[in-house]
Structure 1
Amino acid sequence: MVRYCLLLTALLLWTAGAYAEPSGVAQLCRKVDASVPAQRASLLDFTCYLPVPESAPYWNAQTIHELPDALTWRPAAGHELAFTQSEDYYWVRINIHNGGASPGFWYLKLDYAPLDHVEFHLDTPSEHRTIQTGDRKPFLSREIDYRYYLLPISLREGETAEVSIRLHSGGALNLPLALVTPDELVSSSNQLTLTHGLFYGALLIFAIFNLLLFVSSGTTYYFYNAFYMAGLGMFLFAMGGFAYQYLWPSNPQLANTAIPISMALCALSMNLFGRSFLELFNRKTFTSRLLTAQSVAGVTLLVLSPYLSYTIAIKTIAIVTLTVICNLFFIGIMRWRAGLTHAKWYVISWSTMVLGTISYALAAFGYLPDFLTHEIVMQAAIGSQVILLNYAMVQRWRELNLKLLEVEYSAKQKLERQVLERTAQLRKTMNQLEQANRQLEALSTRDELTGLFNRRYLDSRLQQLARESQRTGHPVALVLVDADHFKQINDRFGHGFGDSCLQSIAQVLERNTCRPRDVAARYGGEEFALILPDTDESGALRVSQAVLEDMRDTMIEAPDGSNHSLTLSAGIAILKPGEALSSTFERADQALYRAKAGGRDRAELAEPPIRSDATTKRTENAQ
């Protein structure tokens, strides 16, 4: 009996020792109070980490409790964690405490996309959760649709969560960690979305513009410049995690090879553009042979990058890319000194690219902290380079015009033909751009899902008809239409079926607005509007009832194979002379509300507008 008691005591002591927190770790990894914004902002003061060599016997430990107690954890000491390329595994540990008087919810955010293996371990008094993700796994493994890595943390008042992260990657490890509230996450995400949207949108516009110039003029360096900007945009899109999130979320292999492939494309395209723009066509010179060798290297790496390991591919291509950039910079200086005046702007633009690329490469390979800042610096450098390159091409165009003027003295007739041909090309290009702008303008007034006009067009058209009604006195009817119980449809069958329902509603509205000047628009989630010129209340009511009846008779097949019909509610208001559009909208909305309150699947006429005393007095004087 005594022996059994001793064995039980030893087992309890071993268990307590296995799960006891080492004193060194407790001292280094102090608790961060998530309810205090200042402590959240200085999260790295409460963070500690541990490098684990692959040769260590405990390299495959699945939790921090499986690591030996004798290991020495290191404090981050307020510095962002960044590690150069190695085969080591890294553990990061943070103890998060809710010192507030109410339950709280936060996100632990890791803002670096190209990580092969990321394991989050969350231990709270109420749960133990493990998330295994990284770009070696499908994007859905992240649980939250976000290009970076998020760990949701929910704590009651007074609770503490132990968070540990196990990381490994074939490239460098940048670990920009942050602890944020949902509001802070949404705010920062919106700001980044705006910044990235402007950057990638501008890059795409410049690429398309150069491509159009190539198509219209046949000038080779326009194509190479468009090719370069497309490759550069794809590289940053992949490095930022957008490509994996939006383009191939179910293909981890492509997510890993996209970065070296796009980098090789950048090296090849910038080399081809530099050769064409700097007019290095004499293949017998050393400079020309160097550029040829760089083009061959770029094509070779482009072909081999899908078959090489990520570690070898990224190092090799990065070295070749930096070599190409530096060589082009010095070649540009040589051409500038040789009298090629537009090479001046090429050199200036390339100098920003050299500085931005070196800064970005050092951060991407873990030699510099704060990767997000260097990413912004890289985007600013690219933006400056793109603007300066296009200005350089303008300067070259100016040089060509000056040369044409010089040739005029010896070959005036030939010059006139050349000018006429070039003018025709320019007109053709401008016509194409104008047509493209018109197409873009048409696209900007249409709702992408339903094909109906959008709110922007609705407001513009309604203002036009209001001014026309003011002149002619003809009535204009505004009908607001809303789908009944639409949230229940989305909750029951999903948003995919909800989108199908919205498309069916759009088809019904289009079928019942037959006159050329009638307008059907979508201006909200399940909210639609009809503008009916030259239509009084009775006419608008007939159209609305026809829409409601048509919608009732339209059957929509659900994902489970069953057929369903929708009902609509409508509010009708007639725009009165001198009435503000906002008042008309409000009256129609109130009528729609009455239709909803009155049982739905019906149309209600709006109350007439309340006239002010000044309006009443003017009317009485007129009588």
Structure 2
Amino acid sequence: MAKQLKRWFAACMLVLTWVSAAAYAQETMPPVYYHVDKTGNQSVEQLLDKEPSYWNVLPSDGASFGYTSDVYWFYFKLPAADYDRMIRIDYPLLDRIDAYFVSGETIIDRVKAGDSFEFDQRRVNSRNFIFPIDTHDEVKVYLRVETTSSMRMPLSVWQPSDLIGSEQALNTATAMYFGLLLCMIIYNLFSYTVTRDKRFAIYSAYIVAIGLLLAGLDGTGYQYLWPWSEWIQYKSIALFGSIVFVFASLVASQILQTETRAPKLHKGLQGIMIVAGLLFLASLILPYELMISAVLVVAILASSFLIFTGFTLWQQGLAYARIYTLALSVLLLAIIINAIGYLGFFESFFIQRYMIMIGSAIEIMLLSLVLAIRFNEDRRERLAAEQRLNSRLEVKVKQRTAELEAVMRKLKEMNQRLEVKSNEDRLTKLYNRGVLDEDLPLEVRRARRTGYDIAVVMIDIDHFKKVNDNLGHQAGDEVLVELARLLRVNFRRAGDRIYRYGGEEFVILMPGAQELGCHDKVLTVTDVIRAHSFKTERGEVKITVSVGMALLNSMPGHASSKQLLEAADNALYQAKNAGRDQIRIARSLNDVSEKP
């Protein structure tokens, strides 16, 4: 794991170097000016003749004005050029941008953009906002911007070929990040499948939450995951940010064993989960501009508390708390810096955009290592406990040799119970196939001696595979148990015995049955099954069954018990071929009738 982390970090550094180099390929940006329209009613025509003193100069590296409801106008002039040019705003969370391109005093083009519009309305398919300039002449650019997120304006001008290279570099870095997240999700889900340790499942959910948050922050989510929903994009940071801290607190409590090692800190983590959960619910209803400040404040406070929790348990000597604290510190430091930047107190678009990606990637890999260490440690503790228990048991056995006779009696009783259990199907508690193989030959011989008939009824659930595929094997097992109960209730005649033959097949042995009465009884039972609602943890299920019947006296000659069972199976096969939900009676091994 450590080697993989080093390799991935080295690859990230190479990609980020490429991204940085690509960023310098942009055109030299002319001076940019801005003006705050507090009324929000100014039009571009009112600004065309404004003197330079009317505008404020925007810093060369862009600016962050924090969260504000004011409308901002940005203005700059591009000289004439003999090549195509494009403007990029490298911040994907602006709600509405109205771009005006002015030549002389004439508006030659107007473009609307922003994440309050559907993604497919953008002129250029990019998570950033890109505006092609349709003229090579000198042009003045006016940008009217309003947003409920942080007001930020990282402007740059590009030649199309250079912009393609820069976008490719950004997409490569983003793909590496989300590829790593996907690998770690699969790894932890596989670990959960193998070990059934819920910590791996919780951690997978935590990684998913981080991925969704970063997809919302980076604009990747709006480009690829929910381009059809402005609402999700509008709410994404508040919603996914809240979910991240719900699972971050849950992961911390599981890994650090705070419930037993630090009960007060455990209550603090529970408090974070409750607050983050309430923020998630509130974010579904309340406006983004009202919720985002609360989410950012909670993010800073919760991040600090999580680091404090890890550091405290580190000081108490918990070995993997050190790795946890270091891993979480990288991510949470990035989150804190990012939150401060969004509030308008810090400005570095490159650091904020990629530091949180690198921090979360390192944290995810290190915490996966912590989970593996924790699982191995728990396994060693269980083995040690078992060894101690075995040692004590050996001493106890030696000390109580006088009680051996009583123990042997108990063992004998247990063996008798096990013998009973061996005749039962573990799921349905019906007799199993082994018992049928013993009972059927005996009943056939008895029927020949007494002259009575004997019926073998074979029942199979129709399309049972769909139940397992659609609802899961647990629901399928619940259907089998309920069907076994219905069969017990309806086949109550003295001598009737019910067996689970295998899978979804059941066999009913009916000594002394008459053909007409047996058919009517089976017909009644199939109606009961068809009308019954089988309740499962995944909802109610309706099923039908196909039935094959064979009676000993209907078979030619001296049919054996094996042939009788084969005849019933053949009749069942014919019932399923006839469209299922049917009853067929075997007249011979190859002749099947629909009616008695």
Residue number in structure 2 paired with 1:121: 100
Amino acid at match of 2:130: L
Change beyond 3 A, Cα 1:411–1:139? same
Aligned partners of 1:40, 1:383: CA distance in 2, in Å?
Answer: 29
- 1:87–1:169 Cα contact (<8 Å) kept: yes
Calculate percent identity across the aligned residue pairs.
Answer: 20
CA offsets, 1:573-622, max 9 Å, x none? xxxxxxxxxxxxxxxxxxxxxxxxxxxxxxxxxxxxxxxxxxxxxxxxxx
- 1:110–1:175 Cα contact (<8 Å) kept: yes
Change beyond 3 A, Cα 1:53–1:283? farther
- 1:352–1:385 Cα contact (<8 Å) kept: yes
Deviation at 1:349, TM superposition (A): 0.7
Change beyond 3 A, Cα 1:217–1:79? same
- Is 1:216 the counterpart of 2:194? The answer is yes
Where 1:281 maps in the other structure, the secondary structure is helix
Aligned partners of 1:235, 1:379: CA distance in 2, in Å?
Answer: 11
Aligned partners of 2:224, 2:94: CA distance in 1, in Å?
Answer: 17
Aligned partners of 1:385, 1:278: CA distance in 2, in Å?
Answer: 15
Aligned partners of 2:54, 2:281: CA distance in 1, in Å?
Answer: 44
Where 1:330 maps in the other structure, the secondary structure is helix
Greater shift, 115-124 or 68-77, is seen at: 68-77
Residue number in structure 2 paired with 1:51: 36
- Is 1:137 the counterpart of 2:117? The answer is yes
Residue number in structure 2 paired with 1:60: 41
Deviation at 1:366, TM superposition (A): 2.9
Change beyond 3 A, Cα 1:336–1:75? same
Q: TM-score, normalised by structure 1?
A: 0.56
Residue number in structure 2 paired with 1:231: 209
Aligned partners of 1:279, 1:296: CA distance in 2, in Å?
Answer: 19
Alignment of 1:88-487 (within 5 A): 88-99=70-81, 103-124=82-103, 128-156=108-136, 159-282=137-260, 285-404=263-382, 406-407=384-385, 410-412=388-390
Aligned partners of 2:124, 2:285: CA distance in 1, in Å?
Answer: 31
CA offsets, 1:399-457, max 9 Å, x none? 33543564465235899xxxxxxxxxxxxxxxxxxxxxxxxxxxxxxxxxxxxxxxxxx
Aligned partners of 1:376, 1:132: CA distance in 2, in Å?
Answer: 28
Aligned partners of 1:216, 1:315: CA distance in 2, in Å?
Answer: 41
Where 2:93 maps in the other structure, the secondary structure is coil
Structure 1 spans left out of the alignment, 5+ residues? 1-36, 416-623
Greater shift, 333-342 or 375-384, is seen at: 333-342
Where 2:388 maps in the other structure, the secondary structure is coil
Change beyond 3 A, Cα 1:322–1:292? same
Residue number in structure 2 paired with 1:440: none
CA offsets, 1:75-94, max 9 Å, x none? 22423222111111111111
Residue number in structure 2 paired with 1:12: none
Alignment of 1:528-567 (within 5 A): none
CA offsets, 1:274-312, max 9 Å, x none? 111111225993222222222111221111212111112
- 2:303–2:336 Cα contact (<8 Å) kept: no
Aligned partners of 2:169, 2:185: CA distance in 1, in Å?
Answer: 24
Where 2:285 maps in the other structure, the secondary structure is coil
Amino acid at match of 1:330: F
CA offsets, 1:386-410, max 9 Å, x none? 1211222233234335435644652
Change beyond 3 A, Cα 1:139–1:304? same
Amino acid at match of 1:105: D
Residue number in structure 1 paired with 2:61: 79
Amino acid at match of 2:322: K
Deviation at 1:265, TM superposition (A): 0.8
- 2:299–2:335 Cα contact (<8 Å) kept: no
CA offsets, 1:160-197, max 9 Å, x none? 01111011111211211110111111101111111111
Change beyond 3 A, Cα 1:38–1:308? closer
Amino acid at match of 1:116: D
Amino acid at match of 1:106: R
Aligned partners of 2:122, 2:150: CA distance in 1, in Å?
Answer: 20
Aligned partners of 1:77, 1:269: CA distance in 2, in Å?
Answer: 39
Aligned partners of 1:391, 1:236: CA distance in 2, in Å?
Answer: 22
Change beyond 3 A, Cα 1:267–1:38? closer
Aligned partners of 1:249, 1:414: CA distance in 2, in Å?
Answer: 64
Change beyond 3 A, Cα 1:53–1:178? same
Amino acid at match of 2:213: F
Amino acid at match of 1:171: S
Change beyond 3 A, Cα 1:77–1:298? closer
Aligned partners of 1:285, 1:161: CA distance in 2, in Å?
Answer: 65
Aligned partners of 2:45, 2:340: CA distance in 1, in Å?
Answer: 31
Residue number in structure 2 paired with 1:523: none
Residue number in structure 2 paired with 1:464: none
- 1:104–1:155 Cα contact (<8 Å) kept: no
Where 1:87 maps in the other structure, the secondary structure is coil
Change beyond 3 A, Cα 1:117–1:374? same
Change beyond 3 A, Cα 1:299–1:352? same
Amino acid at match of 2:195: S
- 1:211–1:223 Cα contact (<8 Å) kept: yes
Amino acid at match of 1:96: L
Amino acid at match of 2:283: S
Amino acid at match of 1:61: Q
Deviation at 1:272, TM superposition (A): 0.7
Amino acid at match of 1:138: E
CA offsets, 1:327-347, max 9 Å, x none? 111111121222321111111
Structure 2 spans left out of the alignment, 5+ residues? 1-22, 394-596
Aligned partners of 2:357, 2:120: CA distance in 1, in Å?
Answer: 28
Change beyond 3 A, Cα 1:273–1:67? same
Deviation at 1:252, TM superposition (A): 1.4
Residue number in structure 2 paired with 1:472: none
Change beyond 3 A, Cα 1:127–1:414? farther
Aligned partners of 1:404, 1:283: CA distance in 2, in Å?
Answer: 18
Change beyond 3 A, Cα 1:409–1:342? same
Deviation at 1:127, TM superposition (A): 6.2
Aligned partners of 1:77, 1:326: CA distance in 2, in Å?
Answer: 32
Change beyond 3 A, Cα 1:336–1:39? closer
Aligned partners of 1:90, 1:176: CA distance in 2, in Å?
Answer: 14
Residue number in structure 2 paired with 1:475: none
Alignment of 1:15-34 (within 5 A): none
Change beyond 3 A, Cα 1:171–1:120? same
Residue correspondences, number: 369
Aligned partners of 2:227, 2:210: CA distance in 1, in Å?
Answer: 21
- 1:176–1:370 Cα contact (<8 Å) kept: no
Residue number in structure 1 paired with 2:400: none
- 1:42–1:78 Cα contact (<8 Å) kept: no
Alignment of 1:587-598 (within 5 A): none
Where 1:51 maps in the other structure, the secondary structure is strand
- 2:26–2:159 Cα contact (<8 Å) kept: no
Aligned partners of 1:303, 1:186: CA distance in 2, in Å?
Answer: 40
Amino acid at match of 2:78: I
Larger Rg computed on CA atoms: 2
